[in-house]
Amino acid sequence: MKPARESWTTKLAFILAAAGSAVGLGNIWRFPYVVGENGGAAFVIVFLIIVALIGLPLMVTEITLGRETKKNPIGAFKALAPNTPWWLVGAIGVLAGFVILSFYSVVAGWGISYFFQTVTGSLTEGTDFEAAFFDHVGQGFAPVAWHALFMALTGLIIGLGIVKGIGRAVRYLMPVLFILIIMLVIRGVTLEGASEGLQYYLQPDFTSITWQTWLDAAGQAFFTLSLGMGAIITYGSYLKKDDDVPGSASWIVGLDLLIALLAGLAIFPAVFALGFSEADGPGLAFITLPAVFAQMPFGMFFGAIFFLFFSVAALTSALSLLEVVVAWLVDEKEMSRPKASALVSFGIFLLGIPASLSMGAVDIQVMGMPFFDFLDYLQETFLLPIGGLLTLVFAGYVFTASKTRESANENSTSFKLGVWFEWLIKYITPAAVVIILLAGLFL
Ligand code: TRP
C-alpha cells in the first residue's frame, strides 16, 4: 500500500523550506558577481523590477498549482489538463532539476572543500588564491569526491521525507544561515574604506543599463527564486488547503531578496576597501573573497564562516532540486521514497562527474564550451525561461487566470490578489519572458 502523501507541519515550515530553496548559491555566488559584471546599483534596480514583474507572479502561480493539485509537476499538469501534452512542461522541470543539481552540487562541493581548507589552514594568508582555485577545480579526484559527499547528504535528507527530512533540516539551518550572513555584513561594512564599495552598490548609474542588463537580471531572477521548473509547484503540493498563498509567496520572495542584498553588502565593501576588482566573475567567491579575508583581522575565521554559510545555503537549495525528481518517481511511478532518492542522487552524481572534470582536468566540450558551462547555459537560456513561460500560459489560459486567482486567494489571511493579477499572468509577465527569451537567442 502507498503511504499517505505528507504535508508541512506548520505554515512556517513551508516558508522556511521554500526560502531555503530560493536562498542559495544564486544569492551568494551568482548575485554578487552578476552585479559586479553589470556595473553595480543600476543592475540591482533592474533586478528588483524583474522580480516584481516576473518573479512574484510566477511564485504565486507555482505555489497555487501545487496546492491545487497536491502533485509533483508532471502529475500537476496531468491532473488539471488530462489527456493533453501539457504534462511535458512538468517533464521539462524534472529534467531541469536533474541538470541544475548536477553542476550545482559540484560548486557546493568546492564550498565544502574550501570550508575545510580554511579551518585546517591549508588556505591561509599567504596563499595565491587564484592559483589555488584553478588548482582545486582542475584536479580530477578531489572535487568529484566532495561532489559525491554533497549528493549523498542531499539524498539522505530527501530520503527521510518532507517532515523528517526537509522540514527538520531547514528549521535548524535557516536560522544559522541568517546569523552567519549578519556576522559577515557587520564585518564588511565596518572595514576602513568600506564606503566606496557601498557607493558602488547603492548609487545607481543609469547609463550603464543595456539589453544585456535586463537579460542577466531575468536569468538571475528565475534562478535565485527557484522558478520555472516546478520546484515551487512541488513544495506547494505539500501545503494544506488552509495555508495562505499570497502571503507566503511575498515572504519567500522577500527573504530571498533580503539575503541577496545582504550578500552584496557583505562582499562589495570588503572588495573595494582592500583594493580588489569587483568584476571578477564566477571566481569572485573563491578567488577574490578569500584574498579579501586574508587581509582582514581574523580573516580566515570569517573566511571559514563564509564557506560554511555557502555550503549550508547550497544544501537547503539542493533539497528542492532533488525533491522535484523524487516526488515524480514517488507519485507517478510508485517507487519508495528512499529508493527513488538513492537512485536519483546517484544519477545526478554521475552527470556531475563530466561537469566537474570539464573544469580543467579533462577537455570535455559541448557547443564550444566546457560541459560545466554548457549545463549552466542550458538552464539559464532555455529550461527555466521556457518552463516559466509555459507555466504562465497554462495558468492564464488553460486552467484560466480567474481560477488561478481564485485558487490562490482561497483561505488567504494576509491579502487577496485583485483582478490586476489576472492581467499580469495573462499578458504582462508572459510578454516580459518572451522578450527576454528572444533577446537571449538573438543578442
Ligand atoms: N534558488 C537556488 C539558488 O539561488 C537554486 C535553486 C534551487 C534553483 N531550486 C531551484 C534554481 C530550482 C532554479 C530552479 O541557489
pLDDT in tens, 193-244: 889 889 988 899 899 899 889 999 999 999 999 999 999 999 999 999 889 9
User: CB neighbours of 22 closer than 8 A, spacing ≥ 6?
Assistant: 224, 225, 226, 252, 253, 255, 256, 317
Q: With a 6 A CB cut-off, is 388 part of the ligand 1 pocket?
A: no
DSSP state of 121: T
Q: What is the CATH number of domain 11-442?
A: 1.10.4160
Instruction: Match 587581509 to its residue by C-alpha cell.
Output: 295
CA distance 92 to 377: 15
pLDDT at 439: 85
Question: In this structure, what is the dihedral angle of CA atoms 336, 341, 344, 347, given to the nearest 10 degrees?
Answer: -120
Q: With a 6 A CB cut-off, is 320 part of the ligand 1 pocket?
A: yes
**Distance from the CA of 97 to the center of ligand 1, in angstroms?**
9
Question: In this structure, what is the dihedral angle of CA atoms 107, 111, 329, 374, given to the nearest 10 degrees?
Answer: 0
CA-225 nearest atom, ligand 1: 1
CA distance 397 to 376: 30
Q: How far, CA to CA in Å, does 243 sit from each of 15, 45, 277, 324?
A: 11, 31, 46, 21
- Mutation test residue for ligand 1: of 223, 316, 391, the one with most atoms within 8 Å of CB: 223
Nine-digit cell string for 70:
497536491
pLDDT at 298: 85
User: CB neighbours of 1 closer than 8 A, spacing ≥ 6?
Assistant: none
Instruction: Match 485583485 to its residue by C-alpha cell.
Output: 418
pLDDT at 299: 86
Nine-digit cell string for 33:
558577481
User: CB neighbours of 354 closer than 8 A, spacing ≥ 6?
Assistant: 362, 364, 371
CA-256 nearest atom, ligand 1: 4
Query: How are beta strands 369-370 and 365-366 bridged, if at all?
Result: antiparallel
Please identify every stretch of the chain with a pLDDT value under 70, giving residue numbers as ranges: 1-2, 279-280
What pTM was computed for the model?
Answer: 0.95
CA-231 nearest atom, ligand 1: 12
Q: Hey, whose CA ends up nearest to atom 8 of ligand 1? A: 226
Q: Hey, whose CA ends up nearest to atom 12 of ligand 1? A: 226
Neighbouring CB atoms inside 10 A of 23's CB total: 30
Q: With a 6 A CB cut-off, is 385 part of the ligand 1 pocket?
A: no
CA distance 352 to 270: 33
CA distance 100 to 139: 22
Q: Are 433 and 399 in contact (CB under 8 A)?
A: no
Q: Are 8 and 238 in contact (CB under 8 A)?
A: yes
What is the dihedral sign for C-alpha 259, 260, 265, 271?
positive
Q: With a 6 A CB cut-off, is 25 part of the ligand 1 pocket?
A: yes
For all residues of the chain together, what is the average pLDDT? Answer: 93
Q: With a 6 A CB cut-off, is 18 part of the ligand 1 pocket?
A: no
Q: With a 6 A CB cut-off, is 64 part of the ligand 1 pocket?
A: no
- Give me Rg for the CA atoms of the chain: 21
